[in-house]
Structure 1
């Protein structure tokens, strides 16, 4: 596990959204983005702005997602770290 801020991949962010049971519209609202922005990001149609990726990651982390890197990149859910009930 990383001790610093992990930069989660597009696919990890999408998988984390599904894992916590959010649809694209719910994640978009939580991240302060348009649903179309989340859709475009997840589908990889265009390179995202870093601020978009960060907003999505922060919204997921507020729901208890912990992103990892190193020898086992990915994520897990830690409900004790959730700022927002899931």
Structure 2
């Protein structure tokens, strides 16, 4: 709900994607390693399509990588009762 408002207020699509990309990667990591890798590749390709600074792009990819592995680590630390549907 907030993303269209941010876009309408003048925030660039690049910044909006940088805001959304950790959620996409975290969701992929939650589903499994294959989805995590696919989400990282998708984010990397989209970031490269924006043609911004390569160091900034690499930093965002590293941030997404760390977030993805953090989700997996935090999920493994949950109590078994919390993991049930």
Question: Could you tell me the TM-score, scaled by structure 1's length?
Answer: 0.30
Question: Could you tell me the TM-score, scaled by structure 2's length?
Answer: 0.30
Q: Which has the higher helix share?
A: 2
Larger of the two Rg values belongs to structure: 2
